[in-house]
Amino acid sequence: MNASGLSSPVVARSNLQPLFADVDWQPVINAIAAADKILLTTHCNPDGDGIGSQQAMYDALIAMGKNVVMHNFDGVPRIYSFLKHAEQVTMGAWQSGSQDADLIIALDCGAKGRLGMADAFYDGTQLVNIDHHVSNKYFADINIVDARYCATGAMVFDLLIAMDIALTRCSASAIYAAVLTDTASFRLSNATSAVYRMAADLIDAGAEPWPITIHIYESQPLAGLKILKATLDTLQLRDENRSAWIHVTSDMYQSTGADVEDSEGLIDYARSIDGVEVAVFIRCDENHDNCWKVSFRGKTTADVGALAATLGGGGHKHAAGCLMRGGFDDVRTTVEKAVSQILG
């Protein structure tokens, strides 16, 4: 996709309908108007919604002539680096005083800790929280939290309309990427008719569905397929075939040349099996020995968020996780017991 150099509005603003006309964006609009320098950020281990929302906001704010910077603790995943302003994102831990923004806008982030910055980082800086997670902690000075939205990117769509900022090919593509990923390619129940209408507006503004899909879903490195193969070899079913288990050890990362990003989404294969209610993915923590990241996915009735909470983690009903320490066999046994209990 060639998104560069095309910033002229394609869709007349007056033609755009917000998804939800009752959201009061005025506090955010006022904060943006008053700010000299704005920092846009999203959660650790960012997904397409976090990155897409950030990219679209950046595009809109620089069009307004604002001084804007972007910083994510974990930067931008490779598959979203095609978005026009991705290279502007800085990454890593920032210490107190290392940013001089007077307004921070956190996008798609349910809790302050998930931004990955020390608390001192925010000293004296106004914080805005724009998010669609039902579990949002309302951690900011201004909180626009609305779980009716399928994606934070869809909230940015409505904010741009409220600010009377036209969509560009760049912002439309970024919002499309956000919505594409958070609706599982417009397949989840959050993909309402209004979301499809918004997608049509985005396409009219220059978002190209297939090139964007190629970047996000059809550009896997070979190592990604190798880790998929190795991981599927670990597949086991338990609990009368209602739980599916896969894992990745550090040896498997080394022998395939894959990294953590390559193993994102592998758990979906485990969940996809007919009759499986809970999928479990255990992978080594790349930074710590004897430390394991355990991900859970539920399909229908099982509440894996509650399950993860019993193991010291958390999340949503159908997607959750926890961090566990110890040898693989011990961790696995502990998790097996917890899963068997909720599948009772």
Interacting residues toward Mn ion by CB under 5 A: 49, 108, 152, 182
Alpha helices in the chain (DSSP H): 26-34, 48-63, 152-162, 169-182, 193-204, 209-217, 222-232, 250-256, 267-271, 304-310, 328-343
Alpha helices in 264-314 (DSSP H): 267-271, 304-310
Please, what is the minimum distance in Å from the beta carbon of residue 132 to Mn ion?
6
Residue pair 81/46 in contact by the 8 Å Cβ criterion: no
Nearer to Mn ion, 51 or 276 (CB): 51
Nearer to Mn ion, 49 or 277 (CB): 49
Tokens of 100: 């001089």
Distance of CA 184 to the CA centre of its chain: 12
* End-to-end CA gap in the chain: 49
Nearer to Mn ion, 59 or 182 (CB): 182
Residue pair 203/237 in contact by the 8 Å Cβ criterion: no
- Closest-by-Cβ residue to Mn ion is 49
Please, what is the minimum distance in Å from the beta carbon of residue 244 to Mn ion?
25
Please, what is the minimum distance in Å from the beta carbon of residue 296 to Mn ion?
18
Nearer to Mn ion, 242 or 317 (CB): 317
C-alpha R_g of the chain: 21
Please, what is the minimum distance in Å from the beta carbon of residue 130 to Mn ion?
10
Please, what is the minimum distance in Å from the beta carbon of residue 212 to Mn ion?
17
Q: Please name the helix (run of DSSP H) or strand (run of DSSP E) that holds residue 298, with its range, or none.
A: strand 291-298
Number of Cβ within 10 Å of residue 190's Cβ equals 18
Nearer to Mn ion, 143 or 152 (CB): 152
Distance separating alpha carbons of residues 42 and 61, to the nearest angstrom: 16
Please, what is the minimum distance in Å from the beta carbon of residue 159 to Mn ion?
15
Distance separating alpha carbons of residues 311 and 299, to the nearest angstrom: 20
Please, what is the minimum distance in Å from the beta carbon of residue 277 to Mn ion?
24
Nearer to Mn ion, 43 or 283 (CB): 43
Determine whether 274 is exposed, middle or buried from the number of CB atoms within 10 Å of its CB (0-12, 13-18, 19+).
exposed
Distance separating alpha carbons of residues 90 and 73, to the nearest angstrom: 8
Nearer to Mn ion, 98 or 185 (CB): 185
